[in-house]
Amino acid sequence: MFTKILIANRGEIACRVIKTARKMGIATVAVYSDADRDAVHVEMADEAVHIGPSPAAQSYLVPEKIIAACKATGAQAVHPGYGFLSERASFCEALEKEGIVFIGPKPRAIEAMGDKIESKKFANAAKVSTVPGWLGVIENADHAEKIAGEIGYPVMIKASAGGGGKGMRIAWSKAEVRDGFDRARSEAKSSFGDDRVFIEKFVVDPRHIEIQVLADAHGNALYLGERECSIQRRNQKVVEEAPSPFLDARTRKAMGEQSVALARAVDYQSAGTVEFIVDSEKNFYFLEMNTRLQVEHPVTELVTGIDLVEQMIRIAAGEKLAIKQSDVKLNGWAVESRLYAEDPYRNFLPSIGRLTRYRPPEEGQFGDVVIRNDTGVTEGSEISMFYDPMVAKLCTWAPARLAAIDAMSEALDSFVVDGIEHNIPFLAALMQHPRWREGRISTAFIAEEYPDGFAPIVPNEEEKAVLSSIATAVELLRRDRLDRLGGRLAPHSGVLKRDWVVKIGEDYLSASIFEGMISIPIELDLSIDGGKALTVASNWRPGDLMWRGTVGDRRVAAQIRPVPNGLRIAWKGMSVTARAMLPRTAELERLMPEKVPPDTSKMLLCPMPGLVVSIAVAEGQEVKAGETLAVVEAMKMENVLRAERDLIVSKLNAKPGDSLAVDAVIMEFA
C-alpha cells in the first residue's frame, strides 16, 4: 500500500480523497494555484505544493507541474479526482514513465472510452446494447441525410470528441439533418479541434441512468447498482439518486452485466461508470463510459456502504477486490443535490464572491436519516471566477425514497449560505415538485417544467398562514427585547395585543392571537385571516438565522434575515418579505407611495460578476437587434451579450480585462 499520494485536483473532491486517505493511514499532498492558496483542501492535506497562477490552464492542467510536485514530495501515486487531468491518457502515460502510479484505469482504457465512436465500437463488440446509428465516417450532408432516413427520425447528430452538449443537434426532418450536420461539424471543429460527427437514433423522453463498476488488475469485475441522473439542465446533472425509481431487478441485472462485459473488454482497472439512456419501455442503450470517479458517487456509497475512493486506491496498489457480486446489496435510498454558485432567478448565471456565512446542516445519522455534505469550502472562502461553480454536494439517505426526499428538503431549508447567489431555492422547490416526487422524470424534466426559467415561488394560502405565523412570533419577540432595553420611555404593560396584520408580498393578512406568552421558547395560539386556529411553537432567539419549530401540525425549518421593518423568510424554495405590524400601522402603510426601480432600459448591465473578454462596439456606433455588444467570462463560461433592439451606443463604461460586479454598467445607449 502507498504511504503518500498526491491529489491532482482542488475543492470538494480533493477534500473527499484526503478523508479516505487519512482513514487508510496514507499521507496526502495537495496542489494549489494562486486563487486556492487559502483553500480548505490545502489546509487538510499533510503537505501542499504551489503549482502556478489561478487559471487552470496554467496550474491544474499542466502535467509537468503535477509530476514535479510528486518528485519534490515523494508521492508514490496520484489521484486525479474528476475533471482537469482525470481522463487524459497522456498524463497517465507520463506518470507511468516516472514510476508514479495513476489511481485510475490504464491509458488504453481511457483512450478507448474517451472517443465516442471508438467506445461504441468496443460496446458493440462486447455485445452491449447501443443506439441504432452510423459510426463510420460521414462524408457530407447528402450522406448524413441518407443515413438518417435509414435509421428513422428523430436522429441525434453528435461530435465524436464532444461533451457538455457541444457539437450536438437533434433533427426531425431532412432539412434539419442537413443544417444540423453542418452546424455540429463546425461546433466540433471549434470546440475540440476534431470535426468528426456520428448519427444515432434519438430516444424520445429518455432517462439518463448509469451503472457503477469496479474492476481490479486480476480479472475481477462487478457492478454496484445504478444512479438515476435524469434531472439535468443544459446537459449538466443537478440532482441524482440511487437506486433509480424506474428500473426493476431484471433490467438492473442486464445493465449491470453488460457494463461489466464492457469493462472487461477494455481491461478496465479501477472505479468507472457506464452511462445509458433508457426509454419508456425500459430499453437501454449505451451512451459512454466515464473512466474516472463521478461527481455523484456518494449516493452509491450511501446505498452500498462501499467507499469507492478506497477501492480505487486499493486497486491501484495491486490488491484484489475483496467484494464479490453477491456481496453487493442496495440498502435504502440516497439523493444528492448539487449546490452551485449561480443565480436561479437570472437564468442560473454564475455568481462569485466571499462566503460571508456558510453553515451546512449537521452531518451524521439522525434516527432513520443520514445527512452527508461533500464540500471544499468553509465560512470566509472565496468563490472565484476561475473554476467550476459547484460549492457542495448535499446527500441524504433514508430507508425509502420519499423519506430521503423529505430529509433533503429539510436539509436544504437548513443550509445557510450568504455572500453569493446560489441555487438552493431551486433545489428546495424541486424537492416539492409532484413529478419529481412521483419519479415521473426524463432528461427534459427541467426544460418542460421550467420553460421560462425559475421564478420566485408564490406561496399558496396554507403556506401564507405558516409564513405569517412565523413573522408574528418573531415580531413579538423582537418588540419584547427592545422594550426590555434600559432607558425606554414606554415599556409595554405585559398585556399581549390580540390583533396584528402581516404583509406578505402585496397581501395583507390579519393575525388574531388567542393565547400565549412572550417568552423563549415561545408558544402562541393564533388564526391567520380567520382560518383555523394554529399553535406556533419555537426556540428561536433574536439573531438566530434559522427558525425551527412547529406551525399547527407542520414541522418547519426556515431561514430568516432582517430587512427594514420586517424580515425575509426562505422556506421550501420560497423567499418572501414579511412584515408584522399593528392594524393602525398597516392602514398607514397601505398609503405609502410605491418606490419605482430606476429605468435601466438604456444601459447594458453585466448579468453576473465576471471578466470582460471583449467589447464589440464603439461609441457612436449604430447596432442592430441581435448583434454582439460584449463578451463576459465567468466560471469557465463565455456569455455573449447581444442587443435586444436597434440602438446607438452613446458611452462605453468598461474595457476588455475589466472585472465587473453584477449589474455594473458596461455601456449606455442614446
Catalytic machinery residues: 288
244 HSE (CA, 13 A, CB side): 29
Supply angle C-alpha 595, 598, 602, rounded to 5. Answer: 160
Cα distance between residue 363 and residue 415, in whole Å: 11
Cell numbers representing residue 608 in the block: 453576473
Q: What are phi and psi of 346, to 5 degrees?
A: -120, 45
- Amino acid code (one letter) for 573: G
Q: List the one residue out of 231, 303, 310, 292 whose CA is nearest residue 17.
A: 310
In angstroms, what CA-CA distances link 327 with 264, 304, 309? 20, 10, 18
330 HSE (CA, 13 A, CB side): 23
- Amino acid code (one letter) for 530: G
Residues 6+ apart with CB under 8 A from 249: none
Q: Are 470 and 580 in contact (CB under 8 A)?
A: no
- Residue burial 229-249, b: 16+ Cβ < 10 Å; e: rest: bbbbbeeebbbbbbbbebbee
Q: Are 365 and 614 in contact (CB under 8 A)?
A: no
Torsion of CA 453, 459, 461, 467, to 10 degrees: 180
Q: Are 35 and 54 in contact (CB under 8 A)?
A: yes
Cα distance between residue 152 and residue 141, in whole Å: 16
